[in-house]
Each structure stands twice: as C-alpha cells, then as structure tokens.
Chain A
Amino acid sequence: MQTYQLDTPALLNQAMQRIMRKKEIKTALDKNAITREQTLQCLKQAYRCLNELCKPVAVVLPISANLFSLDNHFVLLAGETRIKSVRMSRHLSCNAAQAYLYLFSCGYDSREAFCWLQQDYSAYHFQDMLSNELLFAIGRQLHRGIKQLNPNKNCYRYPIQTDQQSNEIANVTWDAEKTRSLLKLFNAYDLGITCNPKGCFTPLHSILGVMMTTPKGPALKKAC
C-alpha cells in the first residue's frame, strides 16, 4: 500500500491554473471587464472554499489479479470481484503484470461546501468545476507516482464495467456493485470514503480505479 503525501496548496493552484484555461471559463474572462470581474469573483470564492474544506487523500493498493476465463476475458481482482475486460485480460497474460487499485478524493462533503458558500448556487457550481480539476490534479500526481515506482513498465487503467445485459431503459455499462466491492479493500485505511448502492461516492469528488503495470519491451509488447 502506498499513501501519497499531497501538497494541497500546490494541487489547488494547479487546478486553478487549469480551470482558467478551460474554454468556457476563458470565454467568460475574455468577454468584457464586468463579466471577467464577476467570473473571477466566483472562482476566487470557490478557491477559498476548497482551500478551507478540502483534505485530499490518495492511496494505491497492489492487488492480486487472475485471468480465470480466457474465452470470456474475465479477470478476478483480489480474489472476489470479477471484471470483464478484453483489454485487461490481454495485459494480464503478460509476465510480471501487476494490478493496482487506486482511490483518491478531494476529501470534503459537497453539502458542507454549499453551506460554506451560503447557498449561493453559482459559486457552488464554480466550486464543483474547481473540485473536478483538483481531482484530476490528484490523479495526475498519483499516476506519476506509480510510473516512478515502475520506471520500466507501461501503466494501463480500466473502467469497472458491468458484464450484465443492458436493457432498453438503462444502458448501464459501469458497475456500481463491483465498485462497492473493491472499495471495501480500502476499509483498513479509514479514508472516510463511502459508495452507495447506485455507485455514488461520498465525498462526491472521489475516484476508484483499476490499473495494471506490464513490462516494456518488444517481445512483451507483441504478446500484450
């Protein structure tokens, strides 16, 4: 297990810089002095809110992964959760492949943010946009960390997909139950992240994912 030390101010600044470059924000900032000022006001308010409330966490967990059905491309993670993934099973068939689970979060409750922002819906929306960027910044740091630990390997990420038949009403591709099952593996680390039966995390800005590293090299590349 690796818990990442996260530099919250640096990540938040990175998120703020990124959000300022987003097309929709940039358009508002370039519009005219008033729209620019009001947009900046909202962004600064969102920044202050996150600076006050967020407590980012990130953990990476090496796990066992077994390919147990080549025909249907199923992978068994940590001995309990079955994932159907052609890509993942292909990567797993490489020698020395290592699977990881990662979990990271901005570490604050959205309801708390809404109160902090005094029920200002607009400011709350900016807070959500900034929080998304912060989440991506955490993800990038985590990904870099795994790459550093595995300098001669490729890193792949996989969606936690359902293998059930979709119906006409809900074309569900992502599996909430499997996400919950994998989240249990982090219980010992007391991160305060939960997931409801529909797959919604609390805190809302949290991500759980599966990653695999495989050795680099021409022969293995071919095999993978």
Chain B
Amino acid sequence: MTEEELDDLFDAICEGDRDTVVSLVETAINNKDDVSVLLNEAMIPAMGEVGNRFSENIIFVPEMLVAARAMQGGINLIEPILASSGHEPIAKVAVGSVKGDLHDIGKNLVIMMLKGAGFQVEDLGVDVDIPIFEEAVNNGYKILCLSALLTTTKDEMRTVINHFKDWKNVKIVIGGAVITQEFADIIGANAFGADASEAVKAVHSCIAA
C-alpha cells in the first residue's frame, strides 16, 4: 500500500467511511500487502486520532461510533490473517461491568476503542462476578477494565481490586459515569479512564508501569 493509500485509509476511518475502509483493506489483501503495516501505520493511528478528537470535544459519540464501525469493517478482514501469522497484540484486556450492574454502553465504548488501539479484548459482559474475572486472568488477560454506571454498584469495584491485590502482574483500570479519579485512588485502582478514549490511555499506562 502506498503512502497515499495509507493516508486514504486513515481518513476513511476518521470519517467513518466503512465502505472505503473495506475496499482499501480488501485491495491490500489481494495485493498481498503486509496487513500489519495497514494496522500499525494507518488504522490504529486513525482510531487514536478519533479518540483525541473525542477527548477534545471536536467530535461526539456518534462520530466515534461510526469511526469504530468503519475500523471494525477493516479489522474483520485482517484479523484472520494476523492470527495465522502469529501477530501479537499490544496486550490482552478483559472488560466487564461489575456484579449487579447490567449497563453495558460505557463498557462497549471502551471495548471499541481498545480494539481500535490494537489490544486483544475479551468482552466479559455485564453483572460480572469475581470467578469470571479470575478465569480471564488465568487465560492471560492481565489487564482488567471494570465498568459501573450506578452508585449502588461502584463498591463492587473495590471488592474486585481487593481480590486481585496479591495477584502477580494483574492491573485494574476502572471507569464509568459515577467513577472519579478520587474514587479510583481510594479503592486502589491502577488507573482510571474518564471516558472511552482516556480508558485506552489508562490501559497504556498500566503496560508502561
């Protein structure tokens, strides 16, 4: 893929142009291009740009959603190729809404942005109890992202953090409508994401630590 085509792919993701993304990626695959170049030089940076624009209030959630959808259109095509070539993700992250909380919108936004940033993401769903988080950790998902929307469920995050505090190399990121940095500090979370874009940065900070 030429520099110009990589730029086109970048722009298509930023604009949420799913059809163009799919078409460009299909062409690259047919041309036997290195799909990891597509991913690392156009697709992941494009979603990073989308995240930054969202954080700076240049775009709102709907535009982030269509961008993520366009990105996913491309990912669906290259994922099997990456898997068969032994491509390693940046890290494996498991995401779930804590026990008792059935809300999933914030969690899903984080999943979309993490996938867009090149992480391997396991969606644990809603109402996730400790054994499910444990199973994810045992399967190599050492970064756990916990989500809570309600004041009645946020305390569950502390329960999960306390459970894993003596586990080696497990990092916990928290976020949700009712969560603040202060709360994250009090309960001992490794990082806090104020929104989906910040959650990606929070997960990166866990890897760097």
Cα distance, A110 to B108, chains bound together (Å): 13
Q: Which of A100-151 contact B (CB under 8 A)?
A: 110, 120-126, 128
Contact status of A24 and B61, CB under 8 A, knowing A168-B186, A174-B151, A176-B152: yes
Q: Are B60 and A169 in contact (CB under 8 A)?
A: no
Q: Which of B47-92 contact A (CB under 8 A)?
A: 59-63, 65-66, 68-70, 72
B68 contacts across to A, CB distance below 8 A: 121-122
Q: Which of B98-132 contact A (CB under 8 A)?
A: 100-105, 108-109, 111-112, 127
Q: Which of A27-58 contact B (CB under 8 A)?
A: 27-28, 31-32, 34-35, 38-39, 42
Q: Are A38 and B100 in contact (CB under 8 A)?
A: no
A197 at the interface (CB under 8 A from B): yes
| Chain A: number of interface residues, binned into ranges | 35 or more
Q: Are B17 and A199 in contact (CB under 8 A)?
A: no
Cα distance, A125 to B63, chains bound together (Å): 12
B36 at the interface (CB under 8 A from A): no
Q: Are A34 and B17 in contact (CB under 8 A)?
A: yes
Q: Are B103 and A200 in contact (CB under 8 A)?
A: yes
Find B158's partner among A121, A125, A169 (CB 8 Å cutoff): A169
Cα distance, A170 to B152, chains bound together (Å): 7
Cα distance, A171 to B187, chains bound together (Å): 14
Q: Are B105 and A34 in contact (CB under 8 A)?
A: no
A222 at the interface (CB under 8 A from B): no
What's the nearest-Cβ distance from chain A to residue B51, in Å? 15
Cα distance, A42 to B70, chains bound together (Å): 12
> How many residues on the B side are at the interface (Cβ–Cβ under 8 A)?
37
Find A122's partner among B66, B150, B153 (CB 8 Å cutoff): B66
What's the nearest-Cβ distance from chain A to residue B41, in Å? 22
Contact status of A172 and B152, CB under 8 A, knowing A121-B108, A121-B112: yes
Cα distance, A92 to B129, chains bound together (Å): 42
Contact status of A169 and B15, CB under 8 A, knowing A27-B63, A28-B63, A198-B152: no
Contact status of A125 and B105, CB under 8 A, knowing A27-B60, A35-B66, A199-B150: yes
* Given contact pairs A125-B65, A200-B127, a sample of 12 additional A-B residue pairs in the complex whose CB atoms are under 8 Å apart: A24-B61, A27-B59, A35-B16, A39-B66, A122-B66, A122-B68, A124-B108, A125-B105, A126-B65, A169-B186, A172-B152, A200-B102
Q: List 21 A-B contacts (CB under 8 A).
A: A23-B60, A34-B16, A34-B20, A35-B15, A38-B18, A38-B66, A39-B66, A42-B65, A42-B69, A121-B111, A122-B66, A124-B108, A125-B61, A125-B105, A125-B109, A169-B155, A169-B187, A173-B151, A174-B150, A199-B152, A200-B127
Give chain B's interface residues, CB within 8 Å of chain A: 15-18, 20, 59-63, 65-66, 68-70, 72, 100-105, 108-109, 111-112, 127, 150-155, 158, 183, 186-187
